[in-house]
Amino acid sequence: MQAARLTIFCDGGIGNRINALASGLAIAHHYGLTYCIHWPENNWCAASFSDIFNSQHPTSRASIKDLHNQCGDAIVLLHDEIASTALNVTFNSAYGYESLEDFDAKVISTQKDIFYYPAVFPEWIPNDLIHKEIRYLIFNDFITHEVKQFITHAINKPFYGLHLRRTDLNVGLTDHEVLSLVTQHKDKDFFVCSDDPLAEALASVHPNVHRREKTAHVEKKNSDQGWLAQCKDDDERTYYGNISRSKDSVIEGTIDMLILAHSEIIGYSGSTFQRMARLLGELNPIVPIEKPISLQFFSVSEARRRIQSKLMPADMLLQVCSTVNLQGNISDAIRLLQLGYENASEQDKNAILFTLGIYYLNDNKPRMAVIIFEKLSQTEPSNHANSLHLIYALLLSNDYDLAHASFLTLKNLETKNLSSYESSILEFISEKLIPI
């Protein structure tokens, strides 16, 4: 049994649209469904399907407004409730299935038409099905030519990619982080792309940073309002996004995305544009070019977002903070540890807290370190490392009486189990205090 027909609705920016396209084609081909791709031209993306792809897929330019009240008895799977209002249907999430088998039982088995509109890949669709469709994507001749020309003539060597999403999201490396990165690695080549021409210009001042001169960038739909202003799009849907992407700006952005795909991308912006670039680079490169070895560079802004999203394990957090500290940014490392502690599981909190105490000592904030190690000494009384650091912090705070009292509690101290750093602390303490 199979559904009668699958409508693949691709909306939003180019990253979101390719997500819908690839996952929709994965469903269609897996089940052998008849399908049509709806690719509306609107303020989010004014480029047509054929402006981007060489393909024989059946396509339509029908907008979500055009399809109001036309879904009939189809099973409608959507990205958000705004879309359900535009279509005048009950909201059913495109992401609400546990597995392909669950989708089989609840959707395919009904033999009903399916209207499918996601913005990101649903987790219930296996990656191998989606990746197969990405491998088969063929971009149109103009886009392919521009990508080849830039990579083979403007760069012609392995390079690193910097994606600076500004405007409505403002994610990716900051301008200061870009400056720090490219000046630290003057012998490396970088490609920068952004929806903000100023961000590209600032980065490309450096001789080892390449950019493409574009004919168009994204603009504001309402020029007198901010990028995140609430406004109605071309289909009268209300969003917090004041975006207008012309046909030329979308084509230019797609070229940038495909060039970025051939690089070793530094940092994670969280943008679907960058995620798609990574996938295309892995699965469907246009130019056979070797990628350089990875650079160990951690963006503080990126780390902050990953911590808040609970996407950074404690061991990675400590590694990132160590690198940030070695780069001379101990204040940033401390702030990341504070944020990490707030978002950590109970089993990871003590390890983060201990490192935070060390950083306070290194940053000449012994009173803050005292608070940290007092807490740790209470929660882990058998851990002499906590007590040693507490006494050390008390001495640096000129609190000799409390330091001496705390020193007396260190009975049966196993010095052979101390690290060299802890042994040096013990030596310092012993010089300042007379054991009784």
**Residues whose CB falls within 8 Å of the CB of residue 90, separated by 6 or more in sequence, listed in order:** 76, 84
Q: Which residues contact 123 (CB under 8 A, 6 or more apart)?
A: 95
- Please give the model's pTM, rounded to 2 decimal places: 0.78
Residue owning tokens 């052979």: 416
pLDDT of residue 108: 95
What the block records as the tokens of 210 is 């390449």
Residue 231's DSSP bridge partners are: 239
Cβ proximity of 265 and 160 under 8 Å: yes
How is residue 295 annotated by DSSP? P
pLDDT at 82 over 90: yes
Contact between 6 and 266 under an 8 Å Cβ cutoff? The reply is no
Type and span of the H or E element at 78: strand 75-78
Which residue, among 9, 11, 14, 56, has the nearest Cα to 255 in the 3D structure?
A: 14
pLDDT for 423: 81
Reported as a single tens digit per residue, the pLDDT across 114-125 is 999 999 999 999
Secondary structure (3-state) at 277: helix
Q: Identify the band that residue 436 occupies on the pLDDT scale cut at 50, 70 and 90.
A: very low
| pLDDT tens, position by position, 7-33 | 999 999 999 999 999 999 999 999 999
Looking at domain 141-283, which of 3.40.50.1950, 3.40.50.11350, 3.40.50.970, 3.30.420.40 is its CATH number? Answer: 3.40.50.11350
- The letter for the amino acid at 271 is S
Mean pLDDT of the chain: 91
Answer yes or no: is pLDDT of 419 > 80.
Answer: no
Structure tokens at 412: 């049966």
Percent of the chain surpassing pLDDT 70: 97
The token duo for 74 is 């189809």
Per-residue pLDDT reduced to its tens digit, 325-347: 877 789 999 999 999 999 999 98
Pure H helices in 78-217: 81-87, 100-106, 127-135, 141-149, 175-184, 197-203
Considering only CA atoms, which of 215, 199, 195 is closest in space to residue 274? 195
**CATH class, 6-135 region:** alpha beta
C-alpha–C-alpha distance, residues 142 and 194, integer Å:
20
Of residues 288 and 311, more confidently modeled? 288
pLDDT per residue over 371-394, tens digit each?
999 999 999 887 888 888 999 999
Pinpoint the residues of the chain covered by CATH 3.40.50.11350: 141-283
Task: Please report the pLDDT score of residue 160 as a whole number.
Answer: 96
Beta-carbon contacts of residue 254 (< 8 Å; ≥ 6 apart) = 14, 47, 52, 139, 143
Residue of 171, 254, 248 whose CA lies nearest to 217: 248
Q: State the DSSP string of 189-239.
A: -EEEEES-HHHHHHHTTSTTEE-PPPS---B-SSTTS-TT-EEE-TTS-EE
Q: Is the pLDDT of residue 56 over 70?
A: yes
